[in-house]
Amino acid sequence: MSVEAVVFDLDGVLIRTEELWDEVRAGLAAEAGARYDEEAQRAMMGMSSLEWSRYMHDELGVPDRADAISSEVVRRMLARYRERLPLVDGAREAVERLAARWPLGLASSSNRELIDAVLELSRLARFFAATVSSEEVPRGKPAPDVYLEAARRLGVEPPRCAAIEDSHSGIRSAKAAGMRVIAIPNASYPPDEEALAAADVVLRCLEELTQEAVEPRP
């Protein structure tokens, strides 16, 4: 089945922020005297803001209300983005390469405010016909909701979309949506072998993300 659209993940694919998310949330938890460890970090990967802020309150013991936790984390993330946006090497070129052939979407676990800020600061907004935050759908990754919504907004059936992902939750989300999955494993937080095995293509870096990698010529 031919590819008619490409949907990018954001964190870990186009911007190097998984470490930054971890640092900001861990800092907030430490200030509150709450627990934060590798198990918590892995559990929150792919969660929507509604889900991870509740997790920080309910499971880690941050005393603030979930909405207040989310707002403070977003405020700190925005400040860091404006200080220096951590674009992944080759991100702009990869987006431009694929946009020359397909309409592009973005399906992210980031808050809407952060998505818009990244696309504005990177000057990549014009390349994306549809962007979706997992806070705009019922469930975050690994549920397929955010990818299904991106396909709907693009007007393309999910099996005719290719998804670009880096994490275990993201790969499972895109696969559950029925998309062709191209994995570029996150070096700091690599997906588990089971998730990676579910990907249709595994690349080492964005430089390898060519039109041919997305849809090999017959």
Q: How far is CA 204 from the centre of its chain?
A: 17
Pull the structure tokens for residue 135: 């806070």
Q: What is the side-by-side order of every strand in the sheet holding 104-108?
A: 128-133, 104-108, 5-8, 161-165, 180-183, 201-202
**Beta-bridge partners for 118:** none
200 catalytically annotated: no
In DSSP notation, 89-120 reads: TTHHHHHHHHHTTS-EEEEESS-HHHHHHHHH
In whole angstroms, how far apart are CA 124 and each of 13, 32, 94? 14, 36, 11
- Cα distance between residue 70 and residue 72, in whole Å: 6
- 123 within 8 A of 25, measured Cβ to Cβ: no
11 catalytically annotated: yes
Q: Which of 11, 22, 145, 166 is catalytic?
A: 11
108 three-state secondary structure: strand
Q: Which of 9, 22, 145, 166 is catalytic?
A: 9
Instruction: Return the active site residues.
Output: 9, 11
